[in-house]
Every structure is written in structure tokens, then in C-alpha cells.
Chain A
Amino acid sequence: MLGADAIVKCLEAENVDYVFGYPGVAICPFYNSILNSEIQTILIRTEQNAAHAASGLARVSGKVGVCAVTSGPGATNVITGIATAFADSIPLVCITGQVNSELLGSDVFQEADITGAVESFVKYSYLVKDANEIPRIFKEAFYIANSGRKGPVLIDIPIDVQNAPVRKFNYPESVNLRTYKPTIKGHAIQIRKVIGELSKAKRPIICAGGGVLLSDAEKELRAFAQKYKIPVVSTMMGIGVMPTRHPMYYGMVGNNGKPYANRAMNESDLLIMVGARVADRAVSQPDLITENKVLVHIDVDPAEIGKNVGAAIPLVGDAKHIFEDLSKEEFTCEHEEWISLLDHYRETMQKKRHPDPAYVDPAEFIRLLSEQMEDDAVYVADVGQNQIWSCSYHIVKDGRFLTTGGMGTMGYSIPAAMGARLACPAKQVVAVCGDGSFQMSMMELATMRQFHIPVKIIVLKNNYLGMVRQYQHFTYEDRYSVVDLSGSPDLEKLAMAYDMKFMRLHTMEKAEETIAGFLAHDESVLLECIIDPMDLV
């Protein structure tokens, strides 16, 4: 058995179904060995999207996403995808081919110091120097990626190591890392303190971040919130922890969030922040969330607690376990006044939009779309104005809402939707992007066609990089610089070129039936919505 065969065996042992990647000479031994396996390979059209697709798969399946690319440019191209997964705490194992280990450091063809280059975007990285270490390294890599604060792990494997004989393949059953022991269970004393504060609180609130979804703790969070009658708001990455229309859910916080969600958070006297980094987009003034209130900060990563804001009660551990423990207590909570105040805010503080009837109104369109989508559908939002509209108007029922809230990488939605669709072929998967973000990933239409991945794509077309245009509108008084997208292709012709169904919507007049037709197709569809170029989020 060769190193390359050992890699494939490791992936099989980890129950990997798909590898997203792009070959080159330095990773060819691996791609040769994988032909003997049931694992399916998906030839992505640019390496960055291999990591995004693996991310989409990981987020809906709970498994580690895997991608494999070649050395040099292949490896450097995947960095943005890895950095995106790192910012969003998505578990990935990224395999990179490397030049012959004898030649390392001599700047030969397609050599890049990828473990060095990617250091600040990975949870850990390996440069494999001995093929016999492959089983241990892969076991560790999968464990590190998918435990504690999840994240990407990179394994760089020189071509000669892939071709070297492996004495005996033994996939370890457990890992033994003396430097890595994530805290899963919350400290009993801290849990008791939270309960103590909760029994005193008059205006408690939970702010849930992406960490709740990553720890698969939605059910536990809902049970906890129901039991003690605590209202819930979320960050962008936390959208979906509760159904949007759940009476206890009060929307997304942050400068692009719901005004009533921010108000609810600011007026609370006990704020339970869970699985959220308190980053600038969610909480622009961290000082405010400790003013006149007790802040409980729950996170599996101790470094997140106290990084941006000091918490009165820090609580390190996995959200699922912590909510289970918190729900064990027996006492009654009545926050009726607080809840009716928040209901009042929710009713009276709705943003008013004044859409131009000559165009599709993205807000109303997204609302209608999500009404018609299946309950357990996966909605993937890209980055730009479209992301904010998606966050604000998509209605999560029992499905998932995926977007990159941490890194905000344009072009995320199409490859991530592909990964999500492969992970759950029975579910409806819709990617919603702008015409800017679409063009960052449109090469993947070929991948969708080649591997029969029926993703439904919506392009909100305004011929602008809308988010930047909006910023220039406010900051530079409409001096638009480098935001005009008028060279964009005719999407109808483009869809035709890829054998894709195409639909176009000009106004809201036929929106409902167009959406119905769009969702009814079994195969990939591209729906272009012409929106007001001057619209603001």
C-alpha cells in the first residue's frame, strides 16, 4: 500500500462521501488511488469553491467537509475558502499536494509554503514527511476539525510521500493529543450562577450565534427558552436557531438587523450570549451590552469570552450540553410584561420600504419565495445587499439558512449550495446571490451540469455592486467608483450554454406564479430578478 492509498483508506474510515477538488501533478497519486474507492470526486472549477462546497456539505450534514487540491497555485487558490470556513468555524479537512520533499524550500515549479501561508486561517496544519504517519495525522485532523470550536485543518503531502510504501495500515480508534482537550461540559458552579441570575432577572434575553447550530443545539436552546420563557434574538450566523415566526424569536441583531431585536437586547437585564463572538457587525458597541445588565457569555472557545467584551459570568462549554444542564433546574419564571413589551416593539418597529413598482422588490420577493419553499429547505445567501435582504426577509421554517457572516466572501452561495445539495439530495436547495457574487462563482454551473447537482439559483440583478454602491451613496455622495457591472453576460444565453432552465422576473406582478414554476422544476434553474439599481438595504 502506498501513502496515497492510505489517504483514501483514512477518508473511507471517516465515512467521507465526497471530495471536492482540482488535480495537478502533485496530488495525482491521491486522485489515482481514489478511483478504487466508492468516494465520489467532484471536479470543481476553481479551488476556492472546493472549500466553499465542502463548507456547504459540512454545515447541513454535521460531517467534516473534504477538499483536495494540488500544490502551488492550487493550494494558494483554496486559501480564501479555508479562511471563510475559519471565520465561520466550519469543519474542513483540506488536503494539498506538495512538491517532492527533497525539493522543499528550493522554489521549484508549483511549490508554495502552504502550511506557512495558511497558518492564521487554520485550526491546525500538517506537513506529512513520513507516509506511515498518514493514519495518525488524518485521525487527528478529522477530530480537531470537528470538535471544540470547529474549523479547517490543512494536510500538506509531498508527492513522494504519497508514493512511498506504508508498512501497515492501522487507523487509530482514538486520538491522544496532550495539548488539545476542548471543554465540553460547562462548569457546575458557573451553571448555578446563571440559574441564580435567571431566577432574579426581569428582562432576560438569549442572543444565539452560529455556535448553537454548530453544536446542533437548536432543540435544546428552544426547550430552554420555552421552559423559562426567555425571548431569543440571533446573530446572522445564528439565523435558523429558531423558526423565524416562532413567537419567542425576535429577529437578527446588529447594524443590519431588526431594530426591535437590537432594542430588546439593549433593554434586557440579563443577556445570555451563546456561540457568538460579539463581533462588530452584530454588536457595534460592545460596551452597551454590559451596561445595566448581567452578561452571561457561553462559548466552547475560552478565548472568545472576554475578547471583545468582558462577561460577568463566563461559561466555557458546548452549547448543547450547557442548555441540557441549564434546563434541569426547576423554578418558575414569569416575564409576561417583558414579553408583551417586546411584542409591542416587534409590531411597531418594522422597517418601512418604498419599493419602485417598476422592479422586483427583493424584500417582498424573498418573503414570497420562502413562503413557497419547502419547510426543510436549505437557503444559501451570498454576500452583498442580497445577503442583508435574505437575512431580513427570509422566513426559516424547519430548514437551514447558510451564509458566510464571518468572512463575507462573495461567491459563496453557489458552491456552498452544491455541497449542501449533495449532502441532502432530498431537500430543496436555493442559492440567492447578486449579479456581482454570481459572477464570482458562475464557472460552477459546469460542475452542477457535469455532476447533476440540481441547485436552484436566483440572481438579484441590479447591474451594480450594490452594497459598495450604497456605501458610496452615503459616504461619498454618489461618487460611484468601480461598482458598475454593465459588462455582465446575458444570463439567459449563459443558462442556455449550460443547458439550464432560465426564468426572468421584471416586476412583482407575476412573482408568485414565477416562484411556483421555479421551485417546481426538478433540475437546476436560474431565475433572474431585475431589481432597482438604486435600492438600499
Chain B
Amino acid sequence: MKKIYSVLVENRSGVLCKVAGLFSRRCFNIDSLAVGETDDPRVSCMTIVSSGDERTIEQIEKQLNKKLDVIKVKTFDETASVSRELMLIKVKYNRNNRRDIMETCEIMKASIVDMSKHLMIIQICDVPEKTNLLITMLQSISVVEVARTGTLALPKCMDTPSGE
């Protein structure tokens, strides 16, 4: 079962290390981890995608809450969230496959953001499924390198009586 943890933490040095260390020490998986400051500069948000059985998922949340640098943990399913990942892919191209690449990009809503005589960088910002799909699609051409942010996610907008 995949779960997304949105973890608000104190924006202090060493906190990333503590949270990542907790996952490795307790043998919890990290599929991806993305960190950034929130609108409050004293608070960072870590978006962690992890998987495991029900008990593991509950333990992850409890152990995260135990950390004194953790302010709040929100856990949600992929389906209940809006998730995005940004990925940059550098590929080698030639005259024969240039059109194919451009077509693939068009279908996948990816864009070419840099280019030289033999290389180009493709950017995609989409749900992780799609970013993975693009890699698969481009695998037949030669992929030189890939950089990706990991999943960022927020729970879907739902109007609650409190208006939150």
C-alpha cells in the first residue's frame, strides 16, 4: 500500500537527517522524499512517499510524531491527493529520431527546455505514473541522465464545515 506523508517540521539543521534516519533505522521504505520551506520560514514541509502494510504505515506516522522536531504529520492515499513530480531528462538525439521524440513530448505534455547539436533536455511535470511512463517511452532512444524532484503532494481540496 502506497501512502503519502506530508510532514511539517521545524526548519533547523539536522532535521532532514533525523527523519531520514528514522526510516532507515526502522526499516521503513522511502520511495521518494522532497523537502522545502513552507510559507512560514521556520517550518519546512517534507513530502515522503512510502509503502508497507497497515501496521507499518501506522508505525511510520506514530514514530514521526514522536520526533520532537516534527510539528504535524498528515497521511493520505495517492488517490486522495494532488501529486506532482518534476523531472528533467537529457537524451541524445539524431536526425532519425528527432521527430519521434518531439511527438512523444507532445503526447506526454513534456517540453524541450534545452538543446545542443546532439543533446536535448526534456522537462515534464506530472503525476509520478506519467513521469515514469515518459522514461519508459524514451528508453529506446538513449537517455543520458535524469534528475527528478520526487513526489510533492497536497490533499485534495474539500470544503469542510470549519472552512479549512
Contact = CB atoms under 8 A, between A and B. Distances in A.
Partners in one complex: yes
Interface of A: 115-116, 119-120, 123-124, 127, 144, 177-180, 301-303, 306-307, 310
B70 interface: yes
26 contacts: A115-B14, A116-B14, A116-B17, A119-B17, A119-B18, A119-B21, A120-B25, A123-B68, A124-B68, A127-B14, A144-B68, A177-B68, A179-B67, A179-B68, A179-B69, A179-B71, A180-B68, A302-B62, A302-B65, A303-B62, A303-B63, A306-B58, A306-B59, A306-B62, A307-B62, A310-B55
Contacts of A303: 59, 62-63, 65-66
Contacts of A179: 10, 67-71
Contacts of B14: 115-116, 127
Q: Which of A119, A301, A310 has the most CB of B within 10 A?
A: A119
Interface of B: 10, 14, 17-18, 21, 25, 55, 58-59, 62-63, 65-71
Contacts of B25: 120
Q: Which of B25, B65, B66 has the most CB of A within 10 A?
A: B66
Nearest to B66: A303
Given A303-B59, A306-B58, A307-B59, A178 B21 contact: no
B75 to A, nearest CB: 14
A310 B56 CA distance: 12
Q: Which of A119, A120, A179, A302 has the most CB of B within 10 A?
A: A179
Contacts of A123: 68
Contacts of A116: 14, 17
Contacts of B66: 301, 303
B3 to A, nearest CB: 16
Q: Which 5 A-B pairs have the closest CB atoms?
A: A303-B62, A124-B68, A180-B68, A179-B71, A303-B66
A366 B107 CA distance: 80
Contacts of A144: 68
Contacts of B17: 116, 119
A245 B36 CA distance: 59
Nearest to B71: A179
Contacts of A178: 71
B109 to A, nearest CB: 40
Contacts of B55: 306, 310
A179 B72 CA distance: 8
A344 B59 CA distance: 40
Nearest to B13: A127
A115 B69 CA distance: 14
B112 to A, nearest CB: 41
A177 B67 CA distance: 12
A177 B58 CA distance: 24
Contacts of B65: 302-303
A367 B66 CA distance: 41
Contacts of B70: 179
A265 to B, nearest CB: 22
A277 to B, nearest CB: 13
Nearest to A140: B68
Contacts of A119: 17-18, 21
Nearest to A123: B68
A279 to B, nearest CB: 15
Nearest to B59: A307
A278 B17 CA distance: 29
Contacts of B69: 179
A401 to B, nearest CB: 28
B107 to A, nearest CB: 46
A218 to B, nearest CB: 26
Nearest to A127: B14
Contacts of A306: 55, 58-59, 62
Nearest to B61: A303
Nearest to B25: A120
A303 B70 CA distance: 14
Nearest to A178: B71
Nearest to B24: A120
A119 B70 CA distance: 15
A178 B70 CA distance: 9
A177 B21 CA distance: 22
Contacts of A127: 14
A368 B25 CA distance: 44
Contacts of B67: 179
A127 to B, nearest CB: 8
Given A144-B68, A179-B69, A302-B62, 14 more contacts: A115-B14, A119-B17, A119-B18, A120-B25, A124-B68, A179-B67, A179-B68, A301-B66, A303-B59, A303-B63, A303-B66, A306-B55, A307-B59, A307-B62
A310 B59 CA distance: 11
B68 A120 contact: no
A179 B70 CA distance: 6
Q: Which of B58, B63, B65, B71 has the most CB of A within 10 A?
A: B58
A374 to B, nearest CB: 40
A452 B65 CA distance: 45
Contacts of A120: 21, 25
Nearest to A304: B62
B17 to A, nearest CB: 7
A206 to B, nearest CB: 24
A91 to B, nearest CB: 15
A96 to B, nearest CB: 15
Contacts of A301: 66
A124 B58 CA distance: 22
Nearest to B21: A119
A102 B68 CA distance: 27
B151 to A, nearest CB: 24
A177 B62 CA distance: 18
A60 B69 CA distance: 31
Nearest to A177: B68
A116 B15 CA distance: 11
A177 B69 CA distance: 10
A125 to B, nearest CB: 9
A302 B25 CA distance: 19
B113 to A, nearest CB: 36
Contacts of A307: 59, 62
Contacts of B71: 178-179
A307 B68 CA distance: 19
